[in-house]
């Protein structure tokens, strides 16, 4: 994830290069009849597969254009780690929801229960999926809190708040994109019930954010108790090293661990 203006510009240039390759390069390649037809058909896939290489070259090119002042490498800023945690939690929640929906659909196909009203079916389906996704999200939030404390530079609580809010926004956007009529109907029904209906509607849609806050806080407490911030610095710093230096660092840590685990000789003059 980009953590500085330099990295954001490199990512933007790489995305622009891939966009130009797909939108301009692909039609041009298709007009070259002397090329192999498979190569012309696979050009778009090759363009996307070359994105990591293009991104790396953009970063190097920007470094060459402007001399970068020396800076202290540190852990990830809270807003970056929070957004990344929200994206991973949302992806995990969607995976668990799809698996649950597939299981419910298989059960409904094998054991038909007759004609069901669409609104009643959607309400029952959403309740069943919430019963599946909430426990899965709670378990994932504990690991998210552990990793947030381990890899976030500072303001870990702000990172957890950012993750919970973005996670809620992602879920609302996905629900509205997939079932806009159902979401609008739920909002209209809540408004029609007055203040109490609106309150319970807000509680219902905010329960996912509350789950992330509670169980993510448990993960942060576990990681803080184990003092894992230094472990995150070691892992994050090792990832920035070349492969050869990373192996040397691993060998040095192994030697330190073996020396710590070896029995120590008694001090001189001890009985």
Across 93-98, average pLDDT: 84
Across 63-75, average pLDDT: 59
CA angle 222, 209, 181 (to 5 degrees): 155
57 and 127 part of one domain: no
Q: What is the pLDDT of residue 18?
A: 75
Q: What is the pLDDT of residue 35?
A: 62
97 and 202 part of one domain: yes
Give domain status of residue 71, yes or no: no
Q: What is the DSSP letter of 51?
A: H
Across 86-107, average pLDDT: 84
Q: What is the pLDDT of residue 221?
A: 92
- Whether the per-residue pLDDT at 112 is higher than 80: the answer is no
Across 169-175, average pLDDT: 83
Give domain status of residue 141, yes or no: yes
When mean pLDDT is compared across 38-47, 150-159, 234-243, the lowest value belongs to: 38-47
Between these two residues, 101 and 141, which has the higher pLDDT value? 141
Across 35-52, average pLDDT: 68
Structural domain count of the chain: 2
How far, in Å, CA of 26 to CA of 7, rounded? 27
Domain that holds residue 60: 5-65
How far, in Å, CA of 155 to CA of 41, rounded? 48
164 and 46 part of one domain: no
How far, in Å, CA of 63 to CA of 60, rounded? 5
How far, in Å, CA of 183 to CA of 172, rounded? 9
Name 137's Cβ contacts closer than 8 Å, sequence gap at least 6: 89, 92, 93, 96, 208, 211, 212, 215
- Whether the per-residue pLDDT at 71 is higher than 80: the answer is no
18 and 140 part of one domain: no
186 and 164 part of one domain: yes
Give domain status of residue 52, yes or no: yes
Residue % of the chain over a pLDDT of 70: 77
Give domain status of residue 263, yes or no: no
108 and 23 part of one domain: no
How far, in Å, CA of 264 to CA of 271, rounded? 15
Which of 184, 181, 187, 180 minimizes the C-alpha distance to 204? 187
Q: Tell me, rounded to whole angstroms, the distance of Cα 263 from its chain centroid.
A: 44
- Whether the per-residue pLDDT at 3 is higher than 70: the answer is no
- Asked if 47 and 18 count as a contact pair (C-beta separation under 8 A), the reply is yes
Give domain status of residue 169, yes or no: yes
- Partners of residue 152 on adjacent β-strands: 76
How far, in Å, CA of 236 to CA of 135, rounded? 30
- Whether the per-residue pLDDT at 48 is higher than 80: the answer is no
Residue 118's pLDDT band (boundaries 50, 70, 90)? low
223 and 142 part of one domain: yes
Between these two residues, 119 and 224, which has the higher pLDDT value? 224
149 and 94 part of one domain: yes
- Whether the per-residue pLDDT at 271 is higher than 90: the answer is no
Which of 199, 175, 195, 196 minimizes the C-alpha distance to 185? 175
Look at residue 152 and give its three-state secondary structure. Answer: strand
Mean per-residue pLDDT of the chain: 77
Which of 114, 149, 156 minimizes the C-alpha distance to 232? 149
Q: What is the pLDDT of residue 161?
A: 92
Name 258's Cβ contacts closer than 8 Å, sequence gap at least 6: none
pLDDT tens column, 177-222: 877 777 777 778 777 777 777 777 777 777 888 888 899 999 999 9
Q: What is the pLDDT of residue 205?
A: 76
54 and 155 part of one domain: no
29 and 136 part of one domain: no
């Amino acid at each position: 994830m980009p953590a500085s203006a330099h990295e954001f510009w490199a990512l933007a240039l790489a995305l622009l290069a891939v966009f130009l390759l797909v939108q301009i390069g692909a039609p041009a390649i298709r007009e070259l009849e002397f090329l192999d037809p498979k190569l012309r058909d696979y050009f778009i896939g090759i363009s996307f597969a070359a994105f990591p290489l293009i991104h790396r070259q953009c970063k190097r090119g920007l470094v060459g254009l402007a001399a970068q002042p020396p800076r202290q490498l540190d852990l990830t800023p809270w807003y970056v780690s929070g957004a990344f945690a929200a994206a991973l939690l949302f992806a995990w929640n969607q995976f668990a929801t799809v698996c649950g929906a597939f299981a419910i659909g298989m059960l409904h196909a094998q054991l038909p229960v007759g004609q069901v009203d669409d609104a009643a079916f959607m309400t029952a389906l959403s309740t069943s999926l919430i019963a599946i996704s909430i426990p899965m999200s709670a378990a994932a939030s504990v690991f998210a809190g552990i990793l947030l404390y381990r890899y976030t530079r500072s303001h870990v609580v702000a990172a957890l708040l950012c993750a919970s809010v973005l996670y809620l926004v992602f879920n609302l956007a996905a629900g509205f994109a997939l079932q806009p009529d159902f979401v609008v109907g739920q909002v209209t029904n809540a408004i029609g019930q007055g203040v109490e209906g609106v309150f319970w509607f807000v509680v219902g849609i905010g329960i996912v954010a509350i789950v992330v806050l509670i169980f993510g806080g448990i993960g942060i407490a576990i990681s803080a108790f184990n003092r894992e911030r230094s472990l995150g610095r070691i892992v994050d710093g090792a990832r920035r090293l070349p492969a050869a230096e990373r192996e040397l660092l691993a060998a040095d840590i192994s030697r330190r661990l073996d020396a710590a685990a070896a029995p120590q000789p008694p001090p001189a003059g001890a009985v």
